Structure 1
Amino acid sequence: MVHTRMHTLAPSLTEPQGHGLRLRPWDAGCDADARIWLRGHLDPEFRRWNTPLTLWTDLGGARKSLRARAVEAGEGRAASFRITDAVSGTALGHIGVNEINRPLRLARVGYWVLPEARGQGVATRALFLASRWAFAELGLYRLELGHAVGHEASCRIAERCGYAHEGTLRGAMWEAGRHDMFRDAHLHARLATDEEPAAPGPR
């Protein structure tokens, strides 16, 4: 079978790296990437705070999800990265610059970290890198980050990376594992003109 590469980053764009990490595009045609994507989405902590548009639970669903991400990348609507250790190349999680609105120079960021990589500052370092990249490479002006109320770890990560807490959005997210109930979300945002926070060091 011929392997068709479908990357979740447009070929003209560079890969962010630094602070002990390298952010690499997911390969939608790679089974290893699909297995990591599936494992991340089946993790109980991910499912506690996130409810995907499609509630898939198998490798086929993971492949389809990554292909959809690759299509969005090709159309300039998103960029999705596999967070990896800069030295070993080990996958640590995911970060995406999503819902890119070119006229408004706006996008939303989201991330998750695999269980074995938690407690090492991975999400903070990845968000710092992805934010700098989105402002410089994509020319965006505003980045938004939303998370369910009660997810204190995401609040801390956002604030460390210069995302100011702007308020509470009522009923802005689905409840865990459901598409028929809603919960409140905290909205954080950072502007290109905001002072960049201190760079996080590698753990």
Structure 2
Amino acid sequence: MPFLTSPVLPEGTLSRRPQPDIPAAAGLLLRPWRPEDAPAVHAAFQDPVLHQWHVRSSESEEEAAGWIEGWRSEWARECDAQWAVVHADTGELRGRAALREIRLRDGVAEVAYWTVARARGQGVARHATDALVRWAFQEIGFNRLELMHATANEASCRVATKTGFAVEGTRRRALLHPDGWHDMHLHARLRGD
């Protein structure tokens, strides 16, 4: 059955080019993940705060290396796009920024992020999100970016609102965490907002 509309972004929009480095404010850089990032990813996932808001844990550097291999391959499949957020001069890992659940046909993706414990409170998630959103809208041409976080995660809500994501509603019992079901705030930005 034919579609009545053309895709917002055609297949190959991401995969036909190498995944870019994206400069961000405050001396940060979003760059593709590298195998040598595995120890830092494993260390980041030992943080109880990440356990509170994420559904994964890392039991070993080898497991983290497997995640990185998967993250790197997602670009070619155009399903997710993941970046390490690093200090541009030192290369020290500060966090992660991602476009998840990419639907090129609709021009929609979900923005996700986390920061390492020592980088919290420094605007890392905000600066990384600003840079990723700018790239996604201006360089690629996405129409809509969504961002979800647990309603109890006030820090993530501040990042969403500071980066221009309007609250659209609450998805009740939308994600199961180790401590039970979490209601999730849904935020969104449109190209041109």
Please say whether Structure 1 and Structure 2 have the same fold, judged by a TM-score greater than 0.5.
yes
Alignment-derived partner of residue 189 in structure 1: 188
Please list, as runs of the form range in 1=range in 2, the aligned pairs for 1:140-155 lying within 5 A after superposition: 140-155=142-157
**Whole-angstrom distance in 1 between the partners of 2:98 and 2:175:** 18
1:147, distance to aligned residue in structure 2 (A): 0.6
> What amino acid is aligned across from residue 49 of structure 2 in structure 1?
E
Choose the corresponding residue for 2:174, options 147, 172, 175: 172
Residues 63-104 of structure 1 show CA distances to partners (whole Å, capped at 9, x for unaligned) of 221222122111111211111112222211111111110011
> What amino acid is aligned across from residue 132 of structure 1 in structure 2?
R
CA contact (8 A) 2:85 2:128 kept: yes
1:15 aligns with 2:21: yes
Q: How many residues align?
A: 178
1:56, distance to aligned residue in structure 2 (A): 4.2
> What amino acid is aligned across from residue 53 of structure 2 in structure 1?
W
Q: In percent, how many aligned pairs have the same letter?
A: 37
Alignment-derived partner of residue 88 in structure 1: 90
User: CA RMSD of the aligned region, Å?
Assistant: 1.7
**Whole-angstrom distance in 2 between the partners of 1:124 and 1:93:** 11
Q: What SS class does the counterpart of residue 161 from structure 2 fall into?
A: helix
CA contact (8 A) 1:40 1:112 kept: no
Q: What SS class does the counterpart of residue 42 from structure 1 fall into?
A: coil
Q: What SS class does the counterpart of residue 55 from structure 2 fall into?
A: coil
Change in Cα spacing, 1:101 to 1:193, as seen in structure 2 (3 Å) is same
**TM-score normalized by the length of structure 1:** 0.82
Alignment-derived partner of residue 25 in structure 1: 32
Alignment-derived partner of residue 38 in structure 2: 34
Runs of 4+ in structure 1 displaced over 4 angstroms? none
Alignment-derived partner of residue 97 in structure 1: 99
CA contact (8 A) 1:13 1:137 kept: no
**TM-score normalized by the length of structure 2:** 0.86
Q: What SS class does the counterpart of residue 162 from structure 1 fall into?
A: coil
> What amino acid is aligned across from residue 41 of structure 2 in structure 1?
W
5+ long unaligned stretches in structure 2: 1-13
Alignment-derived partner of residue 53 in structure 2: 49
> What amino acid is aligned across from residue 189 of structure 1 in structure 2?
A
1:26, distance to aligned residue in structure 2 (A): 0.3
Alignment-derived partner of residue 4 in structure 2: none
1:12, distance to aligned residue in structure 2 (A): 2.7
